[in-house]
């Protein structure tokens, strides 16, 4: 009866698509099913009798740490007697890395003492790919594909959050609305690829000009919007001046591969009680268009209560 039971259990385990193997207290491999062979390329006779610490499968985590030598789920299971789950990468016999989900459980004798452990593992490639696609879609939903900056949707979410924080503890913030001067002329004269290059250069320059905690993104067309946190009127004006100066020292390549200069107009506004997104951005937008009328290179008077308040 025991032989029939043993044979039946082995057949059932070998029919599993998951890899299964047993170890004793010393982490010596006692059993290796066909699923484990399919996932790793190793036949039972190549594995049974070896120890986990021999590092044949070279399990590593996402950071590249070798789990067979330290942090092994099997070892932890044998020590604390509880089940452990992990996402690891094993090394296939042919050398490639295979992502697997691992589930380890203790094996106990009749008296309850731990005499070994069983590990069940399955290929995690499909799940990782699904996760990567989901993360990519999530990034694309908030990313402008041309400039690789946050898009308007993300900026509006960030503005809503900033307004809520302003209403609670009163954290001050301001916005900068930036418009690329002569964008239509660039497209008409040199073509849309040149216009795209100009936008990319402005995007990179604005990102470098602002502080690490600030957010800058593409609001739409040739317009960018930045959110500057924990600023005064004066600091917001200084940030605007810095953006103007750095963009004026930037350039892009036209259709003839010659360098062309760039300039932007900027309007700024500090948040006020009762503001919503529209009122705040409209105030900064109005000031930006006023600057355009004064001339593209008008640089002064961006700081101060009158201009940024």
Q: Which helix (H) or strand (E) holds 306?
A: helix 305-308
Q: Which residues pair with 87 in a beta bridge?
A: 101
Cβ 140 vs Cβ 149: under 8 Å = no
Closest to 115 (Cα-Cα) out of 103, 105, 127, 125: 105
Q: Which of 179, 222, 275, 285 is catalytic?
A: 222
- Reading phi first (left if > 0) and then psi (alpha if -120 to 50, else beta), residue 153 is in alpha
Residues near 274 by Cβ (< 8 Å), separated by ≥ 6? none
Tell me the residue length of the chain: 309
User: CA angle, corner 166, sides to 160 and 170, nearest 5?
Assistant: 175
Residues near 234 by Cβ (< 8 Å), separated by ≥ 6? 303, 304
Q: Known catalytic residue: 222?
A: yes
Q: Where are the beta strands (DSSP E) in the chain?
A: 19-24, 29-32, 84-91, 97-108, 114-123, 173-180, 215-220, 223-229, 251-253, 259-261, 264-270
The set of catalytic residues is 222
């Amino acid at each position: 009866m025991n032989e029939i039971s043993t044979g039946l259990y082995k057949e059932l385990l070998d029919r599993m698509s998951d890899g299964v193997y047993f170890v004793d207290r010393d982490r010596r491999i006692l059993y290796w099913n066909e699923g484990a062979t399919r996932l790793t390329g190793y036949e039972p006779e190549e594995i049974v009798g070896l120890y986990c610490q021999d590092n044949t499968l070279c399990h590593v985590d996402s950071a590249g740490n070798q789990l067979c030598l330290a942090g092994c789920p099997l070892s932890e299971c044998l020590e604390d007697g509880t089940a452990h789950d992990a996402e690891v990468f094993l090394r296939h016999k042919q050398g490639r890395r295979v992502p697997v989900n691992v589930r380890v459980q203790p094996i106990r004798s009749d008296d309850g003492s731990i005499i070994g452990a069983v590990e069940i593992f399955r290929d995690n490639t499909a799940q990782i790919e699904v996760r990567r696609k989901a993360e990519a879609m999530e990034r694309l939903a908030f990313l402008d594909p041309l400039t690789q900056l946050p898009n308007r949707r993300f900026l509006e979410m960030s503005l809503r959050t900033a307004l809520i924080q302003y209403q609670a503890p009163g954290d001050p913030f301001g916005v900068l609305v930036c418009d690329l001067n002569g964008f239509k002329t660039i497209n008409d004269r040199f073509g849309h690829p040149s216009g795209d290059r100009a936008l990319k250069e402005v995007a990179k320059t604005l990102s470098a000009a602002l502080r690490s905690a600030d957010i800058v993104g593409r609001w739409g067309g040739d317009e960018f919007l930045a959110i500057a946190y924990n600023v005064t009127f004066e600091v917001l004006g200084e940030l605007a001046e810095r953006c103007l100066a750095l963009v004026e020292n930037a350039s892009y390549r036209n259709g003839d591969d010659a360098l062309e200069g760039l300039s932007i107009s900027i309007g700024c506004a500090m948040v006020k009680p009762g503001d919503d997104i529209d009122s705040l951005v409209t105030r900064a937008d109005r000031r930006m268009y006023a600057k355009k009328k004064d001339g593209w290179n008008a640089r002064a008077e961006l700081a101060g209560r009158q201009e940024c308040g």
